[in-house]
Amino acid sequence: MSNCSPLLEMRGVVKSFPGVRALRGVSLRLQAGEVLALLGENGAGKSTLIKILGGAQRAEAGSIAINGREAAFHSPQESRRGGVAVIYQEFNLVPGLTAVENIFLGQELTRWGFVARKQERRLAADLFERLGVEIDLDAPCRQLSTAQQQLVEIAKALAFDARIIVMDEPSAALTSHEVDRLFEIIRDLKSRGVGVLYISHRLDEVFAIADRVTVLRDGCNTGEQIIEKITRNQIIGWMVGRELKDEFPQRQSKIGAPKLEVSGLRRGRAVRDVSFTVRCGEILALTGLVGAGRTETVRLIFGADQRQAGEIRIDGNVLSIRSPCDAISAGIGLLTEDRKLQGLALGHSIRDNFGLPNLTWLSRCGFVQLCRERDSLSNYVKKLQIKLQNQEQLAVHLSGGNQQKVVLAKWLARNCDVLLFDEPTRGIDVGAKYEIYLLLNELAAAGKALVMISSELPEVLGMADRIIVMHEGRVTGEIADARHATQEQIMALAHA
């Protein structure tokens, strides 16, 4: 075996699903002590490739080599024994088990036929000390924060001396401080000779942590380069197959009369005396740090949670919103932060998901008019460029970006006057983001009142007409002219 052999090399990997060619001869290589960013739009083939590497799926053709030696992984257990650990975007932790139990689950340390719990606990404590964090070893993982759960996943990888660690969107739900800590851990892993395959839609992170990038589009390799020799626009061009001159599309705002007015909204310490107004044709950004109360606020407006105090008015009329049904009837739609758990019924078809909030106008005499439902959905599939096999495909089998578009489609079909978008571009690629930005602009131009929650400050500055900043359940400031604001201004208010 040559000393120059890559730590990992995948060559000519091919994989198909019914009606879809997911991978068309994809190749990549990863050196020891390197961070390789694997990039591409939703549906480009990234998830399929890492599932093959992780033993969750089998390729039809192609090869995998670890340190120059051919490897064939027929199960996740074989992949782990081969030195590969995959940390998926949706964590593979058992919520009711402790960190220690999750780390050694399925590969428990035993002595004389009994689980060596003291030894496992000692090793787990050593792993977290190595990572430079404190984790309650006795708490069920459901009680840990997202960042702590991610650290448990990393500890699982280190417990069995993984030499290759795959991180799929590891920063999606982390604060900026937690992302900084994650990067420190990745740099430590690099210094120990571990190879990290890093998947992210956040290009700022890629330039901060990656040594090299490999880009996929439509199941094919479209580019590879070391990070110092590539620009953001080149990466975007490889990903989407076209040049995006501006990351955020320009528009001329024609803002009208107040549409949605919220005053004195309150629920415990999560939302405390929140008031603001959104006007017709306006995009109002609601931003702040994780835990600021942004999601809780829009859930109160939508009736998903019960408010303890406050008024909600549309066109000056006070609304009595006690449930989402009341909000929908009043012309309010909510695109939820978690599309998988709250925005879609994943086990149902795309058509069913589209029709759920629209049954009143899709039905006649108590029966759904299927032709009308299919025709309406077809129009939005074309308009939003949703990639699907057919309308009966289960929502769970769509990529993240296409799932988001289905959620958008059902609310667009409802023709709501007020739309609440909670992290509308989280976990989706730059090309799909641009399409959603165009859609938001189109809705604003049509006179809709939009509230956009976003944790990405460039997105806030690039899309909003006005910005409301929250901290610990309160409004701490308003920036009337978002186009001339700075990230520093927003962060100062977010910590107020």
pLDDT digits (tens, 9 = 90+) for 457-493: 888 999 999 999 999 899 999 999 998 898 889 988 9
92 band by pLDDT with thresholds 50, 70 and 90:
confident
pLDDT digits (tens, 9 = 90+) for 29-53: 999 999 999 998 777 889 899 999 9
173 band by pLDDT with thresholds 50, 70 and 90:
low
Average pLDDT value for the chain: 88
What gap in Å lies between CA 488 and CA 495, rounded to an integer? 11
Residues 51/17, Cβ–Cβ less than 8 Å: no
Q: What pLDDT score was predicted for residue 243? A: 62
Long-range contact pairs involving 66-75 (C-beta distance under 8 Å, separation at least 24):
66/7, 66/8, 66/163, 66/164, 67/1, 67/5, 67/7, 68/1, 68/2, 68/5, 68/6, 68/9, 69/1
Structure tokens at 196: 């990290």
Q: What pLDDT score was predicted for residue 1? A: 39
Q: What pLDDT score was predicted for residue 465? A: 94
More confident residue, 313 or 414: 313
More confident residue, 115 or 276: 276
* H or E stretch covering 46: helix 46-53
Work out the angle at residue 293's Cα, subtended by the Cα atoms of residues 287 and 294, and round it to the nearest 5 degrees.
Answer: 40
CA atoms within 13 A on the CB side of 463: 34
Does 3.40.50.300 match the CATH number of domain 8-240? yes
More confident residue, 168 or 431: 168
Contacts of 447 (CB under 8 A, 6+ apart): 256, 280, 281
CA distances from 305 to 203, 267, 272, 347, 480 (A): 35, 9, 14, 25, 29
Domain ranges of the chain: 8-240, 258-494
CA distances from 492 to 180, 270, 363, 423, 470 (A): 19, 20, 50, 21, 11
Burial of 81 (0-12, 13-18, 19+ CB in 10 A): middle
User: For residue 185, is pLDDT > 70?
Assistant: yes
* H or E stretch covering 35: strand 35-40
Q: What pLDDT score was predicted for residue 310? A: 95
More confident residue, 279 or 252: 279
11 band by pLDDT with thresholds 50, 70 and 90:
very high
More confident residue, 255 or 91: 255
User: For residue 178, is pLDDT > 80?
Assistant: no
CATH topology identical between 8-240 and 258-494: yes
244 band by pLDDT with thresholds 50, 70 and 90:
low
Does 3.40.50.300 match the CATH number of domain 258-494? yes
